[in-house]
Structure 1
Amino acid sequence: MPAIAFVVFDGFNAMALAAQPVFSSANAKVGDAYYETLTLSEHGAPVRPIGGPTVMTEPFGDRTFDTVIFAGGEPDEMHASPGLLAFVRHSAATARRVASICTGAFVLGEAGLLDGRRVTTHWRYARSLGERYPKVRVEEDRIFVIDGPVWTSAGMTAGIDLALAMVEADLGMDLARAVAQALVVSYRRAGGQSQHSALLEMDAKSDRIQSALSYAKKNLAQPLSVEHLAEVARLSPRQFSRAFRAETGQSPAKAIERLRLEAARLMLERSRHSVEQIAQQTGFSDSRRMREAFTRAFGQPPQAIRRIGRALAA
Structure 2
Amino acid sequence: MSGKLLLNFSGPADVFMNADKALQAAGCSEGYSVLAVSATADKKIGTLSRMEIHCDSSAMEIKLPIDTLIIAGNDSVDVDNEAYEPFYQWLSTVNEHNTRRICSVCGGAFVLAKAGLLNGRKATTHWELSEKLKKNYPLIHVDTNAFFTNDGPIYTSGGVSSGIDLALGLVEEDHGKDIAITVARKLVFYLSRPGFQSQFGNLLPVYESSNIAEKLHTWFNEHLHEPMDVVRIAGHMNMSTRNFTRVFHKQTGVSPAKFIEKLRIETARKYLEDTDTPLERIAEQCGLGNLISMRRTFLRHLMTTPSDYRRAFRTSLKHAGIQDLIRSN
TM-score (ref. length: structure 2)? 0.58
Which residue is 1:12 aligned to? Answer: 4
Aligned residues: 217
CA contact (8 A) 2:3 2:72 kept: no
CA contact (8 A) 2:3 2:46 kept: yes
Question: Of 30, 36, 39, which residue of structure 2 is paired with 1:39?
Answer: 36
CA distance in 2, matches of 1:66, 1:247: 42
Displacement, 1:86? 2.5
CA contact (8 A) 1:19 1:160 kept: yes
CA distance in 1, matches of 2:45, 2:72: 12
CA contact (8 A) 2:37 2:43 kept: no
Which residue is 1:141 aligned to? Answer: 145
Superposed counterparts of 1:113-152, under 5 Å? 113-152=117-156
Displacement, 1:161? 0.4
Displacement, 1:54? 1.6
1:84 and 2:104 equivalent? no
Stretches of structure 2 that go unaligned for 5 or more consecutive residues are: 203-269, 284-289, 304-329
Which residue is 1:234 aligned to? Answer: none
CA distance in 1, matches of 2:300, 2:22: 43
Which residue is 2:15 aligned to? Answer: 22
Task: Name the SS of the counterpart of 1:70 in structure 2.
Answer: strand
CA distance in 1, matches of 2:2, 2:271: 44
Which residue is 1:239 aligned to? Answer: none
Which residue is 1:53 aligned to? Answer: 51
Displacement, 1:88? 2.6
Stretches of structure 1 that go unaligned for 5 or more consecutive residues are: 1-8, 199-243, 258-283, 303-314
| Post-superposition CA distance 1:121-140 (Å, at most 9, x none) | 11111111100100001100
Which AA in structure 2 matches 1:16? N
Q: Percent identical across equivalent pairs? A: 30
Which residue is 1:248 aligned to? Answer: 274
| Post-superposition CA distance 1:163-211 (Å, at most 9, x none) | 0000000000011001101111122338x9211299xxxxxxxxxxxxx
CA distance in 1, matches of 2:13, 2:21: 13
CA contact (8 A) 2:271 2:282 kept: no
Q: 1:247 to 1:116 in 2, by over 3 A?
A: closer
CA distance in 1, matches of 2:100, 2:281: 44
Displacement, 1:85? 2.0
Which AA in structure 2 matches 1:64? P
1:105 and 2:114 equivalent? no
Which AA in structure 2 matches 1:14? L
| Post-superposition CA distance 1:229-258 (Å, at most 9, x none) | xxxxxxxxxxxxxxx96983795225887x
Which residue is 2:68 aligned to? Answer: 67
CA distance in 1, matches of 2:19, 2:192: 14
| Post-superposition CA distance 1:89-119 (Å, at most 9, x none) | 3222411000000010000011111111111
CA contact (8 A) 1:70 1:104 kept: yes
CA contact (8 A) 1:12 1:71 kept: no
